[in-house]
Amino acid sequence: MPEPATPFPGTGYRSAVVSRPPPLTPANGGLPATPEAWLPNEHSLYRPRHSRRQRTALACALVFFLAPAMAFVLGVRPQPFENRDLQAFPSPGDGWGFFTSFPEWASDHLPLREAGVDAASGVSTGLFGDSPESGRGTPSGPVGIDPQVPGGQNPDEQRDTYYPNMIFGKGDWLYLGADVSNKCKPDLELDQVIGALQRLRHVVESSGRRFELVIAPDKSTAVPENLPADYAGKKCATELSGRFWNRVTSEAGAVDLRTELARTAARVGHPLYGPNDTHWTYEGGLTMTYALAEQLTPGVTSSWEVNPGALSEWPADLPPLLGRSEQREMRKYELAPDGETNRERYVASDFREPLRLTGTSGTGTIAERTGLIADSFTQFASPFLAAGFQDLLIVHAETVADDPAASAAQLLADREVVMVELAERNVAGGETPLLRNDVIEAIGGVLAQNPR
Can you give the three-state secondary structure of the chain, one letter per residue?
A: CCCCCCECCCCCCECCCCCCCCCCCHHHCCCCCCCHHHCCCCCCCCCCCCCHHHHHHHHHHHHHHHHHHHHHHCCCCCCCCCCCCCCCCCCHHHCHHHHHHHHHHHHHCCCCHHHHHHHHHHHHHHHCCCCHHHHCCCCCCECCCCCCCHHHCCHHHHCCCECCCEEECCCCCEEECHHHHHHHCCCCCHHHHHHHHHHHHHHHHCCCCEEEEEEECCHHHHCHHHCCCCCCCHHHHHHHHHHHHHHHHHCCCCECCHHHHHHHHHHHCCCCECCCCCCECHHHHHHHHHHHHHHHCCCHHHHCEEEEEEEEEEECCCHHHHCCCCEEEEEEEEEECCCCCCCCCCCCCCCCCCEEEECCCCCCCECCCEEEEECHHHHHCHHHHHHHECEEEEEEHHHHHHCHHHHHHHHHCCCCEEEEEEEHHHHHCCCCHHHCHHHHHHHHHHHHHCCC
Q: What is the pLDDT of residues 360-371, one digit of tens each?
A: 899 999 999 999
pLDDT confidence of residue 57: 75
Average pLDDT of 431-443? 97
Average pLDDT of 297-303? 97
β-pair type (305-315, 327-336) = antiparallel
**What is the distance between the alpha carbons of residues 412 and 443, in angstroms, rounded to a whole number?**
9
β-pair type (370-374, 391-396) = parallel
CB 222 within 8 A of CB 273: yes
**What is the distance between the alpha carbons of residues 423 and 306, in angstroms, rounded to a whole number?**
25
pLDDT confidence of residue 49: 62
Q: Which of 60-74, 179-193, 221-235, 433-447 has the lowest average pLDDT?
A: 60-74
Kindly indicate the confidence band of residue 103, based on its pLDDT and cuts at 50, 70 and 90.
confident
Strand order in the sheet with 355-358: 210-216, 417-423, 370-374, 391-396, 355-358
Residue 81: what are its φ and ψ, rounded to 5°?
Answer: -140, 10
pLDDT confidence of residue 214: 98
Crossing angle (nearest 10°) for helices 437-449 and 190-205:
10
Residue of 156 and 54 predicted with greater confidence: 54
Q: Which residues, other chains included, contact 168 with Cβ-Cβ below 8 Å and sequence gap of 6+?
A: 132, 133, 136, 174, 175, 228
pTM above 0.85, yes or no: no
**What is the distance between the alpha carbons of residues 200 and 42, in angstroms, rounded to a whole number?**
86
Average pLDDT of 74-80? 70
Kindly indicate the confidence band of residue 34, based on its pLDDT and cuts at 50, 70 and 90.
low
Number of Cβ atoms within 10 Å of the Cβ of 318: 25
Kindly indicate the confidence band of residue 38, based on its pLDDT and cuts at 50, 70 and 90.
low
What is the chain's length?
452
pLDDT confidence of residue 9: 45
Residue of 409 and 7 predicted with greater confidence: 409
- What's the burial of 110, exposed, middle or buried (CB within 10 Å: 0-12/13-18/19+)? middle
Q: In Å, how far are 159, 217, 370 from 292, measured between CA atoms?
A: 42, 15, 11
Nearest CA to 311 out of 283, 276, 286, 337 is that of 283
Kindly indicate the confidence band of residue 28, based on its pLDDT and cuts at 50, 70 and 90.
low
Kindly indicate the confidence band of residue 13, based on its pLDDT and cuts at 50, 70 and 90.
very low
β-pair type (174-176, 166-168) = antiparallel
